[in-house]
Structure 1
Amino acid sequence: MPTLHAARLLRRTLDDPPGPGGAVLVAGSRIEAVAPLDELLAAYPGARLRRWAGTLGPALVHDGPLPDAPTPRERVYALFRSGAAAVPAVHLTDPGLRAAAVRGDVAVLDRVRPPALDVGGRADLAVFADDGTCLATVVAGRLVHRRA
């Protein structure tokens, strides 16, 4: 079932100023559309709707060693709590950590690329509060972190 992710503000890239009324349609692991929420609701009436407080945009690329934690799985989850869904391969040299990242659908990048909400691209999204706190992270279409 497709899911519409909508927030008070939306930005397509990290450099774009956020604008009101936008939404992202996710089907499986891919972005199907980025458009005004009203248009997407009309075009996809059966889609599940998730409304988020804050600003919705692309998930971050974590360009550094993964956060410290007791286990590889917890290190990957710490990445998700920060709003990141991708990491350069150079930071995943430990086999156990790399395996945990792959199991979590982290995008392992050969080179850093600027994150963007591109139609047809991976559905890696993040929602941030005004203070910069990550409220939710979606990785390859799956909600992997939601702040309580």
Structure 2
Amino acid sequence: MLTIHVADKLRYAWDDPDPVKDGAVAVEGDRVAATGSLAGLQERFPGARVRRWPGVLGPGLVLEGPLPDAPTPRERVHAVLKSGAVAVLEQYVDTAALRAAAGRNDVVVLSRVRPAGIAAGGRADLAVFDEDGACVATVCAGRLVHRRR
């Protein structure tokens, strides 16, 4: 099912100087189908589910340091997702169990840091942060994997 994620502001990249007010991202499967205004995307994709988020919607982050401590590899990966990150560096995913947990959750394992951005046709990795910088929601490969209650 196609989902449109909309927030108070949309940043295509986190260093984007001009966020789009009421910007939206349409997600189909694991890909970004389109970006733009909510009205424009609803017209283009009638019947799409709409998820409204408070705060700023932007690309999922890359965790540049060690994974958070937790009792199990699954919980360590979940802690990454709760932070708004959808990718980790391979040097910190140093066991088969951690690699398997990352793979099961579609978390990307990178050899080096890469810039994150949102583009039509790209992988649907998104994060939403509130005004205090806390992660409200994380979408990894098109799936909502974290939502703050």
Confirm or deny a common fold (TM above 0.5): yes
Matched, 1:15 2:20: no
Structure 2 gaps, min length 5: none
Q: Which amino acid aligns with 2:60?
A: A
Deviation at 1:94, TM superposition (A): 1.1
Q: What is the distance in 2 between the residues matched to 1:105 and 1:95?
A: 15
Deviations 1:30-58 (A, max 9, x none): 00111111110111111110011111000
Question: How many corresponding residue pairs?
Answer: 148
Q: Structure 1 length as normaliser, TM-score?
A: 0.97
4+ runs deviating over 6 angstroms? none
Deviations 1:111-132 (A, max 9, x none): 2111100111110000000000
RMSD between superposed Cα atoms in Å? 0.8
Q: Structure 2 length as normaliser, TM-score?
A: 0.96
Deviation at 1:21, TM superposition (A): 2.0
Q: Which residue of structure 2 lines up, in the alignment, with residue 60 of structure 1?
A: 61
Q: Which residue of structure 2 lines up, in the alignment, with residue 90 of structure 1?
A: 91
Q: Percent identity?
A: 59
Q: Which residue of structure 1 lines up, in the alignment, with residue 115 of structure 2?
A: 114
Deviation at 1:59, TM superposition (A): 0.7
Deviation at 1:110, TM superposition (A): 2.3
Deviation at 1:68, TM superposition (A): 0.4
State the secondary structure of the residue aligned to 2:78: helix
